[in-house]
Every structure is written in structure tokens, then in C-alpha cells.
Structure 1
Amino acid sequence: MYSGDVCGIYASYLTIQGVNGRPRIDAAGKNAMGKATWVVVGNSVLIDNVEMFGSKVPDRNGAALRLEGTGFTLRNSFIHSNENGILSGANPLSDIVIEGTEFGRNGYGTGQTHNLYIGKVRSLMFRRNFSHDAHVGHNLKSRAQTNHILYNRFSSLRPGETGSTAAGQPSYEIDLPNAGTSYVIGNVIQQPAANQNGAMLAYGEEGATNTGHDLYVVNNTFVNDDTARGVFVMVGSGVTKPVLLQNNIFSGIGTLSTQVSTVAKTNYRSIAPGFVNRATYDLRPTPSPLVVNAGTDPGVSATGYSLTPVAQYKHVAFWIGRPVSSQLDIGAYESTSIAP
């Protein structure tokens, strides 16, 4: 345990790695520069295997990690119980990679603070992460020009359930407020019954000011536990290109997409699809010809990026290869795979 270990990190090309276990960094009422536990000013910094919690600042916007340099990678960590998990500034040259990390119960409670808030950077790669129980804010918010959101789990605790953090009531599970070329592939996106907003994936709702307006939503499993309302994909009026929804499971009630021109291919909608064990978050499909081998080849994006899923999420914050035997199953999991 490192108590009050706050600092500015000015060196570039620096690796900070926890060894012989995972060090726990408690802000303990302190902060660096009035911003965060660690303020990353240097470029191309890698942080690996840390747990960070307790960040608070006077303006109620304290982050575990405040990103101000160009280029950043976070791996294999646990970021929880801060006013913000990660908060980045705007940097058109910055590429951010976040993988193998759990985010939980971050947010002050105003709706303006989140598990992650990525500013207008060049790109975000967000893969094999577990983001849950944001406190009123979003489980992921990104203004990046390009977003790769691959093989993650976005799902929060049910009332009375015990987990690694306290339960929260998130708003959007994924928020991409300025659009941007975005790939949402192979994720579990689950909205809890208690939430702050009925939409699960929001795209361009604050103005589609990023250059790209291409959203590819492929082979995800959406689960809406709210029995009163829901929107699976909310698209802002400024988005000029049809969104692609292909090979997704949509479970529960709700509007599929608010965009009239959305292209929907080989998706499966049901109030209660067959899952191996929904209560334990085992969302592999049970045998059904409507799901198993019912997916279609998603091909490539307009820029040539392959849309075919090659992995699937495994708890906690891990992934395994997707074992496709003949044809893709619909959803985030193949029915023949091992338990997630």
C-alpha cells in the first residue's frame, strides 16, 4: 500500500510496473497539481499492473490518471473509487491504449465525471477491459477521432449483488459524443435495471464534429435489464452516414437505433434470448438456429479494417480466441467456447 503517493510524471518513454503483486496507490486526500493522483506529462508512458483509488480534488474532478502528454498505455490494472478514473486532455497527436484493466465506481455523482473520459485525441484502443458501475457518469466516454472498442465487458452490479466495488447507476455504457470512425466489436454491453439514462451506446449526440462518421457495431451482445425503457444505439442527428449493426444480440426492450438509415444485418432481437447462465454473466448462446451459425461475414470497413471478430471477452479483463467452427454465431460469444 502506497498512501498519498501523488506526483507529476515528466519523463518520456518511461515504464512504471508493479512487480511481485499489484501495488495499491491510495490518494489519501492528496493530489498532484490539483488534478489527479498521477499527472502524466511525459510522452509515451506505459503504466502496468497498479491499483489506484481515492482521488479527490477541490473542483470534484480528480482523476487517478490525468493524461497530458502524447501517447499513453495502461495495462493490467484496477482503477476504482475516484472522481474520475482516467481523464485526458485534447491532443490531436496522441494515441491511447488501454487493455486488460478493470474500472469501477469512478465518478463524483454529477454526471460530468466518469470511469474514463478520453478527450479529443487521435485514437483510442480500448480492448479486453471490464468497465462497470460508473457513479452516475459513463462507463466509457471518448472524443477520440478513431475508436477501437474491442472484446470488453460493460456491465454493472444488480441490486444486492457483491462485487469488487460498490454498485453504481451509470448513464451510457459507451459514449462517443463527437462521432469519429469507431469500431465496436465483440463486446458485452449490459445496462443495469437501475441507471441514469436509457441509452446504452451513444454516438454523435453532442455534435458529430469529428471527421469520421462511420460506426461499425458488430458481434456484440447487448442486454437491457431495464424493463421500462431502453435505446440500444442512440445516434445524433449530425451523423451523416448510416450506422452498421451486424451480427448482434439485442436482449430486452428498447429502440434498436434512433437513426432511420441504420443498416441492420443478421441481428437477433428477443426479450429473453437463450443464454447459458445469464445470472452468472455467462452469455454464450444456447443452441438455436436463429443464433448459432446464423451470422454473416461483416467484411471490412471503408478504410479496409477487418470487422470479423477474432477474440471474445473472458472475465476478468482478459480475452481468448474466438473458436469459429464453420460460420459466425450471432453475438459476442461462440456457443462452443469455454465459459467467459
Structure 2
Amino acid sequence: MAHALVLGAWFSYPEQANKALRLAGDAWEKMPSLKPAMNVEAAAKLPLHEEISSNFAPWAPLAYDGDVLPTEIRVGDRVYASLKDAAKALKDNDLMEIGAGVYRTGFAVKANNVTILGRGHVVIEKAAIQGKAAMVIQGNNTTLHNIECRFITVRDKNGACVRLSGSGLVLEHVYFHDSQQGVLTGGSPGTVRIYSSRFERLGNRGRAHGIYIGGGKLIIDRSLFLAAKSEGHEIKSRSASTRISNTVIASFSSRNSRLLDISNGGVLSIKRSVLAQGPGSANGDMIGYGLEGYKYKSNAVTLQDNVILLERNGRDVLYHAKQPSPALIMTANLIIGSDAYTGSNSNLLFDTRAQAGLPAYPFLPEVSGQDGS
């Protein structure tokens, strides 16, 4: 109860929390060091799927009681026999509605300003076209809403639910999981926006990731990025601007790499979120920044009002940047772990969950406004 109240105040009343944190931070700095090398207090004992389910309810499609029948695919008043045929018929500004069902054929979208809606529980599985993805988006300004995608693989080992070669993408209430990759874009994807969505158990051989955004801008809000596998990153972004809010990014006991790889620098902002590097992570970095060389004139990193858990067994570093790097601006974060850190006294630092009043691993605190289920 106590930890819930503290965390609730943290996200709901940041100004008051910041004042309390400054006072607590002053006291903390005067205390003797309590930072032995830390392994996670309670090593992973549950299977990965139980670690996840103990924190998050299963993803659920949005309820639908309209007139689009199960397995029916509509574009306007036209009904099509397959996703491929419907997508081929799309024209600019069209709406494509997919009735509830499991679909095992992929499709390509060439038209612009298209919206694709799942009506009920729509699942696309084991489907890939052009050796790339289940959904190949070649047009501009595409929106995908209320769709589950799973079990996507291709010969090149980077099969994605969505492959974007056009510009501009919105994903809202989608669930991409158990594939080689969730989203993969080219180098000029425009702005990619991800809202109220869930990405889980994605990655392959360190070359495919939860999402891999090749440029442009990336905006994420109220989403879940969980348990990237096979040394993939939960989020890999080469965008000029990567802005994340109200989101959980957690590896649990999966063998992921970094939670975030911001390969070429740019503006990185993470606010009101939970970052949790778990005991099985293959990489000692939670966040990598500019490690493949700086590409942009504007480079800045801000972490604010987050809960950060560094619980990898072994070397565990919150932030690893190519030097010279921009200053890391960190304010009003709750940080648990033994990573060497100096910064603003508005952050609270603890070696263990117990010291911070949090339940044992794999518990994760909730995020205000979170909606990835």
C-alpha cells in the first residue's frame, strides 16, 4: 500500500514530488556509500510468460458490435475475399475494415492516407510477402488500429509485422508479438507514432528488434515494450527525435540486448515511464546513445519522472554514450541499482527494491495513463 501511494504521488503530482525528492536527495548524498555490486535480489524464478502475466493482463481487442461480419473485409461498400485483394483495391483516403478472424496472408498498401481497422479480434499470423513482412506499407500516412500480429518470419531473419517504406505511420492499439521483428522502416519514414500498443517477445540474433525505426521522428505514448529476445533491443531508433511517455520498457528475464539503442544520437526524451533491465540481459547497457556515430546537429537526452530498475546480473550501466556526448539531464527519477551515478539531487537512488519500498522482482510499478493491454 505504501509503495503504491508513493508511486501514485510520483506520477500524479510531480511538482510536490520533486520538492520532497530534493530534500531526500540532500540527505542521501550525506549518507555513506551502500553500493555493493548488485545482482537482482530475487533471481528470475518464474517462466518468462508468468513474469509478464503477473504484471499485465492479456492484450484484448477493442469491443465491436457493428455490421462488419467475422472474416469479412470491406473497403467502403465493397467486400473482398482476401486481405491482398482488398489492399490492392485501396485508393487514397480509403478505409479498410477487417472482420474478426485469423488471417494467414500478408498484404501491401500502396495508396496514401489509408486507415486499416480491425473490427473485433483480428489476428494476422504466419504471413509474409515480398520476403519482408505481414504488412508492407508503401504508401504515405497509413494508420493501423486494433490488430494483432504474430509468428512472422522470413529468410533474411528480420520478418516484421509492419515494414514501412513509405512515410508516416500511426499504430494504435496493436499487439505485435513472437515474430522476428515488430516494425521495421527505411531511412526516411517521416513520423512514426505508436499509441496504446504492445510489443512482446520480438527480436532475432541481435539484428531484429521490437521496433527498428531508421530515421525521421518517433513518438511513443501509453505502450508496452516487453521481453525482446535473441539479443534484440526493445527499441532501436535512428530517428532525429525519439520521444517516449507513459510507457513501460522491460526485458524481464528475456535475453535482450539494450532496452533502447538510440544509434545516431538526436533528441531523446523519456518521461513518466518505467525502464527495467532484467537479470538475463545480454548487454550491460540499458540505454545506448550515439554509439554508431552522431548524425544530427541537435543532440539532447532527458529522463524525467521515471522509475528505473537496473537489475541485470553483472555489469549494469544506465546510460552509455559515444563521447563527446550531450549532457544527460535527469530529474525526478526513482533509480534502483548499483550503477555509478552522479546527478541532480532531485533523483532518488536506492541499491535495492527493499530500500525503495517496492515488492520483489518481477513486480513493476504502473504508469499513469498506461494502456497497452
With the length of structure 1 as denominator, give the TM-score of the two structures.
Answer: 0.75
C-alpha contact (below 8 Å) 1:145/1:211 kept by paired residues? no
- Aligned mates of 1:230, 1:313 — CA distance in 2: 29
Structure with more contact order per residue of length (Cα contacts < 8 Å, sep ≥ 6) = 2
Match of 1:104 in 2: 200
Any idea what SS the aligned residue of 1:18 has?
A: strand
Q: Write out aligned runs for 1:218-237 (5 A).
A: 218-237=304-323
State which of 184, 201, 204 in structure 1 corresponds to 2:290: 204
Match of 1:155 in 2: 250
Match of 2:171 in 1: 74
* Length, aligned pairs only: 270
Match of 1:59 in 2: 156
C-alpha contact (below 8 Å) 2:350/2:356 kept by paired residues? no
State the Cα deviation string for residues 31-63 of structure 1 (Å, max 9, x = none).
211111110011110000100011111111111
1:157 deviation in Å? 3.3
1:211 deviation in Å? 2.2
State which of 94, 101, 109 in structure 2 corresponds to 1:9: 109
Structure 1: tracts of 5 or more residues without a match = 159-167, 258-262, 285-310, 319-340
- Aligned mates of 1:60, 1:256 — CA distance in 2: 38
**Percent identity of paired positions between Structure 1 and Structure 2:** 25
1:274 deviation in Å? 2.1
Larger Rg: 2
- Aligned mates of 2:171, 2:357 — CA distance in 1: 32
Match of 2:124 in 1: 25
- Aligned mates of 2:317, 2:340 — CA distance in 1: 5
1:98 deviation in Å? 0.5
Match of 2:327 in 1: 242
State the Cα deviation string for residues 226-267 of structure 1 (Å, max 9, x = none).
24221011121142x31211111110222338xxxxx53411
Poorly superposed stretches of 4+, deviation over 4 Å? none
C-alpha contact (below 8 Å) 1:208/1:238 kept by paired residues? no
The letter for the 2-side match of 1:76 is H
- Aligned mates of 2:361, 2:282 — CA distance in 1: 22
Moved more, 168-177 or 73-82: 168-177
The answer to which structure has the higher helix fraction is 2
- Aligned mates of 2:112, 2:349 — CA distance in 1: 48
1:185 deviation in Å? 0.9
- Aligned mates of 1:186, 1:269 — CA distance in 2: 17
C-alpha contact (below 8 Å) 2:252/2:276 kept by paired residues? no
State the Cα deviation string for residues 56-79 of structure 1 (Å, max 9, x = none).
111111111001111110011110
The letter for the 1-side match of 2:344 is A
1:276 deviation in Å? 4.6
Structure 2: tracts of 5 or more residues without a match = 1-100
Q: Write out aligned runs for 1:61-210 (5 A).
A: 61-91=158-188, 94-108=190-204, 110-121=205-216, 123-135=217-229, 136-158=231-253, 168-210=254-296
- Aligned mates of 1:193, 1:274 — CA distance in 2: 19
- Aligned mates of 1:172, 1:178 — CA distance in 2: 15
The letter for the 2-side match of 1:95 is T
- Aligned mates of 1:214, 1:157 — CA distance in 2: 28
- Aligned mates of 1:197, 1:175 — CA distance in 2: 11
- Aligned mates of 2:269, 2:106 — CA distance in 1: 35
C-alpha contact (below 8 Å) 2:152/2:180 kept by paired residues? yes
The letter for the 2-side match of 1:169 is R
Match of 1:281 in 2: 363
With the length of structure 2 as denominator, give the TM-score of the two structures.
Answer: 0.69
C-alpha contact (below 8 Å) 2:252/2:362 kept by paired residues? no
Question: Cα RMSD between the aligned structures?
Answer: 1.9
The letter for the 2-side match of 1:104 is E
Match of 1:337 in 2: none
